[in-house]
Amino acid sequence: MNADAVVSIQGVTKTFAKANVTALENISVDLLPGEFVSLIGPSGCGKSTLLRVIGDLIEPTTGTVTVNRKSAHEARLARDYGIVFQDSVLFDWRTVAKNIALPLELLGWDRRRRAERVKEMTALVELSGFESHHPWQLSGGMQQRVSIARALAIEPALLLMDEPFGALDEMTRERLNLELLRIWHQLGSTVVFVTHSISEAVFLSTRVVVMSPRPGRIRGIVDVDLPQPRTVQTHENPRFFELVTAVRELLRGIESAEEDGTLESELLAAEEAT
Amino acid sequence: MADAAVAGPLDGSSLRSSPALVALRRASSIALALAALWGLWEAYRWTWIRLDLTWPFVVDETTMPHIDDIVGSLFEPSRTNGPLLIHVLLDSALFTAKEAAVGFAMGASIGFALGVLLAHSRLLQRGVLPYIVASQTIPILAIAPMVVVGLGSKGVTDWVSVSVISAYLSFFPVTINTVRGLQSADPRALELMRSYAAGPWRVLWKLRVPSSLPFVFSALRVAATASVVGAIVGELPSSIPDGLGGAILNFNQYYTLDPENLWATNLIAALLGISFFVAVLVVERLVVRRAPEHVA
């Protein structure tokens, strides 16, 4: 294990006893400071489970996870990470500003300090002027940006993102990808990004972890050596296509090994049961 | 920012539905409904008397007085040289409203607290909920005198005892819906709170309670009218003469002489119930902020 690792995963296995499903089997990987790592794989490969294990929202059956050199549990209690879900999970009864301030309230910040940070965060995600709107008054893309601002408000060293743009249309998604990269450059935090879009994974990441289902295993890791900062032109870089192909090849190997979808639905049920 | 596609509510009050116009339309629809009810009443009366129908009951001045006679009786003296009936009834209504308001406040707070308690323990829910349900199957008329006499012996004023009876009737829907509402919190939001290492108390106040409010308020609307019914019914067997229950008992005795008086009392009682309902509705509009499509 690497001493500098922000996240260190050592031999993690997760079985859902009720459904008798192995969601993760012997996963080991280290994430270094400032890395942008995508987890990709067919549904049921355990990528969301792995993200939740890192965030101590699910306990692994065996193996250890350290975050910032603490156990995942201690790291959660120390609020070392921010998390963004596929649905923005904004509180309808709170304004944009108050949604962003939620984790700060829980940290016991006073009103003035909260207001300052909210101002910085709305500027960061380019939502200044929308502070007093309620979530339902915003488009899906804007809601997700509020959700990102909320996750970043506590200045976490680690940002966990579970298919954050999966429910958005292609155009919004591309714009938010660029914005996320800008924020990532600006803050220098480490990002774990779950997705099932190959091009999104390659475009955003410094490394792509390809996972296979039943049981969830790491199939391979693709280093993305595309130049930074990534721009719209990155999509036209021949190296981009090579890397997309490399990831696709890894995923195709998984597909051909699959025969039927019954196990997959079992695993999904098991994930929902937790 | 580019995708600043702000949706509806900002331009919600467009020209063709200004607040004044909406209010006017609403008022006229209420007036129309009232007029229709009046028409139905009088038409039924006229038909049954004209055709001499005796099923389901004989229609005459005693069983179905004219609506205008009922309303008119409000503005006649309740007895010779006495105050106008409406004054007497408004005094009674005020008294009953006091009982019902205190009863509603007690019932709502106890109901909510009980709901919070039950929502946090499956075991408690299984153990206690059946008794809460059973409590509502006991006829209120049977326990009202016991409550008044029992509490009276402890030095509790009669009207407070009636409030307790009213609370007994109104806490139940609040408890049931609070439990449901607290458990309706989005699982993702619960995960989010867990990621912030928020303790159960924080989760309760910042997430579960706000999520439960639409449920709680729909129960409070039911509880508000139930508290009025509870107060009136509580007065009946406890011989408390100051409220609407007392007025009902009184006018019931003289029904064959003055049927309009009892009908008028019922009218006032209904209005009291409606005003309790509307009061809760107004508070709900102020308190519950939700996406328009989520508002009941």
pLDDT, tens only, B242-256: 999 999 998 988 888
Total tally of structural domains belonging to chain A: 2
Residue A164 shares a structural domain with residue A65: yes
Quote the tokens at residue A14. Answer: 């997760």
Regarding whether A248 and A165 lie in a shared domain, the answer is yes
- Please report residues of A whose CB lies closer than 8 A to that of B206: 102, 105-106
- Averaged over B184-210, what is the pLDDT? 92
Reported ipTM: 0.85
**Are A96 and A222 in a shared domain?**
no
Tell me if A137 and B9 make a contact (CB, 8 A cut-off). Answer: yes
Distances (CA, A) of A159 to A54, A65, A194, A256: 11, 16, 11, 33
Cβ-contact A4, A16 below 8 angstroms: no
Same structural domain, A114 and A247? no
Q: How far is A267 from chain B (nearest CA, A)?
A: 19
Tokens coding B173: 């829907």
The helix/strand/coil state of B137 is coil
Same-domain pairing of B57 and B146: no
Would A8 be classed as within a structural domain?
yes
Residue A134, domain extent: 90-155
Residue in this structure with the two tokens 């940070």, named with its chain if needed: A117
Whether B132 and B33 share a structural domain: no
At residue A217, does pLDDT exceed 90? no
Is the same domain home to A164 and A250? Answer: yes
Together in a domain, B215 and B93: yes
For Cα atoms A51, B188, B281, give the angle at the middle one, nearest 5 degrees: 170
Q: Which residue has the tokens 């009202």?
A: B144
Domain for residue A47, yes or no?
Answer: yes
Residue with tokens 């743009």: A165
- Residue-wise pLDDT for A47-79, tens only, equals 899 999 999 999 999 999 999 888 999 989 988
Q: What is the pLDDT of residues B77-123, one digit of tens each?
A: 887 888 899 999 999 999 999 999 999 999 999 999 999 999 988 89
CATH number at residue A240: 3.40.50.300
Identify each DSSP E strand in chain B by its residue range.
Answer: none
Query: Please, what is the average pLDDT of chain B?
Result: 88
A265 domain residue, yes or no: no
CATH number for the domain harbouring residue B249: 1.10.3720.10
**Closest residue of chain A to B10, computed from CA coordinates:** A137
B118-173 pLDDT, tens digit per residue, is 998 889 889 998 999 998 898 888 888 888 889 988 988 889 999 999 999 999 99
Cα gap A221→A238, rounded to integer Å: 20
A178 touches chain B (CB under 8 A): no
Residues of A in contact with B5 (CB under 8 A): 139
Which of A14-23, A135-144, B28-37, B78-87 ranks highest by mean pLDDT? Answer: B28-37
Locate the chain A residue with the closest alpha carbon to B7. Answer: A137
CA-based nearest distance B9→chain A, Å: 7
Say if residue A270's pLDDT is above 60.
no
Mutation target to probe the A interface, by most A beta carbons within 10 A, among B191, B195, B289 is B195
> To 5 degrees, how large is the angle CA B17–CA B23–CA B29?
105
What distance in Å separates the CA atoms of residue B96 and residue A83, rounded to the nearest whole number?
53
Torsion angle of the four alpha carbons B53, B56, B60, B64, in this order, in degrees rounded to the nearest 10: -140
Residue A38 banded pLDDT, cuts 50, 70, 90: very high
Q: Are residues B60 and B79 in the same domain?
A: no
| Cis before B56? omega within 30 | yes
* Mean of pLDDT values over B198-214: 92
Residue A213: pLDDT band with limits 50, 70, 90: confident
Residues A165 and A242 placed together within one structural domain of the fold: yes
**Percentage with pLDDT > 90 across chain B:** 59
Domain annotation covers residue B8:
no
Residue A65 φ then ψ, to 5°: -130, 125
**At A219, is the pLDDT very low, low, confident or very high (cuts 50, 70, 90)?**
confident
pLDDT attached to residue A100: 94
Query: N- to C-terminal Cα distance for chain B?
Result: 33
Q: Percent of chain B having pLDDT more than 70?
A: 92
Asked if B6 and A85 come within 8 Å (Cβ–Cβ), the reply is: no
Domain-located, residue B46: yes
Determine phi and psi for A77, rounding to 5 degrees.
Answer: -65, -30
State how far the Cα of A61 lies from the Cα of A12, in Å rounded to an integer. 7
Do A113 and A217 sit in the same domain of this protein? no
The confidence score (pLDDT) of residue B10 equals 45
Q: What angle do CA A88, B194, A167 make, to 5 degrees?
A: 20
Specify whether B111 is located in the same domain as B30: no
Q: Is A83 on the interface with B (CB under 8 A)?
A: yes
Find the Cα–Cα–Cα–Cα dihedral B292, B293, B295, B296, rounded to 10°.
Answer: 140
Tens of pLDDT, residue by residue over A99-150, are 999 999 999 999 999 999 999 899 888 888 999 999 999 988 899 999 999 9
What is the Cβ-side half-sphere exposure of residue B204, based on CA atoms within 13 angstroms? 13
CA distance B105 to chain A (A): 24
Is A204's pLDDT higher than 60?
yes
Instruction: Convert B248-273 to b/e letters by CB count within 10 Å (16 or more is b).
Output: bbbbeeeeeebbbbbbbbebbbeebb
Question: Which of B195, B288, B291 comes nearest A136 by C-beta?
Answer: B291
Q: 3-class SS at B109? A: helix
pLDDT class for B295, splitting at 50, 70, 90? very low
Is residue B23 domain-shared with residue B109, that is, in the same domain? no
From chain A, the residues in CB contact with B3 under 8 A are: 139, 141-142, 172, 175
Domain that holds residue B237: 73-288
A104, A153 contact by CB (below 8 A): yes
Sheet containing A62-67, strands listed edge to edge, beginning at the edge strand earlier in sequence: A21-31, A7-16, A62-67, A70-71
